[in-house]
């Protein structure tokens, strides 16, 4: 899947996508939306004031992908705390931070995924089973956030923790059931990298 973003005059970015690529990105974005879940306003009565002061969860999610998307703010999983008291303080700080920020973080990730889906749905065919997606600078930033979240989600499922893991994935045999997910992870990485380049001044 060789598609890559190129800058547009006056800002923004464009990429040529075929029907398969469009379908893959749309499907992944929909799955990400399902994973993130509905917002508080979708579960409660429409009260803007109540929504403004709604508190989020204080415990980290149990799903490993959601843990990757919404990590603890004060806990470093690679670092051993100096004492049990340090660990308890870090958990308390993380819980408090999560309670007041996770709803907004989820809303932002949800909006990014929805922006991807909407822009793909509005694509006009360019012939021969493909289309050219043109994004404004604001849309491009939404796409960048969604691409990052999709790669984090796939990377978590593939148990990628560092670049060495990625190198090993390149060498997977074709019959490995993880191969399609690996190909999607690498392709999305290429899209993300070229989109970053288009947004740099």
Q: Mean pLDDT: which of 31-35, 99-103, 129-133 is highest?
A: 31-35
Number of domains in the chain: 1
Q: Is 153 exposed, middle or buried (0-12, 13-18, 19+ CB in 10 A)?
A: buried
- Which residues make Cβ contacts (< 8 Å) with residue 126, sequence separation at least 6? 16, 132
Domain presence at residue 138:
yes
Q: Is 104 exposed, middle or buried (0-12, 13-18, 19+ CB in 10 A)?
A: exposed
pLDDT, the chain, mean: 81
Predicted pLDDT of residue 75: 60
pTM equals: 0.80
Domain presence at residue 17:
yes
13 three-state secondary structure: strand
Q: Which domain holds residue 64?
A: 6-199
Domain presence at residue 134:
yes
Domain presence at residue 118:
yes
End-to-end CA, the chain: 27
Q: Which of 2-11, 114-123, 188-197 has the lowest mean pLDDT?
A: 2-11
CA–chain centroid gap for 174, Å, is 26
Domain presence at residue 29:
yes
Compute CA distances 167 → 44, 125, 162, 171, whole Å.
Answer: 46, 36, 9, 7
Q: Are 156 and 65 in contact (CB under 8 A)?
A: yes
Domain presence at residue 105:
yes
Please indicate whether residue 132 or residue 40 has the higher confidence score (pLDDT): 132
Predicted pLDDT of residue 129: 67
Residue percentage of the chain with pLDDT more than 70:
69
> Tens of pLDDT along 128-173?
667 999 999 999 999 999 999 999 999 999 888 776 667 777 788 8
Domain presence at residue 1:
no
Please indicate whether residue 149 or residue 67 has the higher confidence score (pLDDT): 149
Closest CA to 134 of 119, 115, 149, 114: 119
pLDDT band at 43 (very low <50, low <70, confident <90, very high): very low
Predicted pLDDT of residue 173: 86
- Quote the CA–CA distance of 179 and 18 in Å, as a whole number: 20
Closest CA to 165 of 177, 148, 149, 178: 178
14 three-state secondary structure: strand
């Amino acid at each position: 899947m060789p598609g890559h973003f190129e800058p547009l005059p006056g800002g923004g970015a464009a990429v040529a996508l075929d029907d398969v690529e469009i379908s893959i990105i749309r499907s992944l974005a929909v799955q990400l939306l399902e994973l993130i879940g509905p917002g508080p306003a979708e579960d409660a009565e429409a009260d803007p004031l109540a929504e403004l002061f709604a508190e989020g969860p204080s415990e980290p999610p149990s799903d490993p992908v959601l843990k990757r998307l919404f990590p603890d703010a004060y806990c470093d999983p690679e670092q051993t705390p100096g004492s049990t008291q340090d660990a308890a303080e870090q958990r308390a700080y993380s819980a408090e931070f999560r309670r007041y920020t996770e709803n907004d973080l989820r809303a932002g990730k949800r909006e990014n995924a929805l922006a991807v889906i909407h822009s793909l749905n509005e694509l006009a065919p360019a012939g021969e089973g493909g289309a050219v997606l043109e994004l404004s600078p604001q849309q491009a930033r939404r796409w960048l956030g969604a691409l990052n979240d999709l790669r984090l989600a796939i990377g978590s499922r593939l148990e990628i923790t560092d670049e060495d893991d990625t190198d090993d994935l390149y060498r997977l045999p074709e019959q490995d059931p993880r191969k399609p997910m690996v190909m999607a992870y690498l392709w999305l990485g290429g899209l993300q990298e070229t989109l970053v380049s288009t947004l740099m001044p």
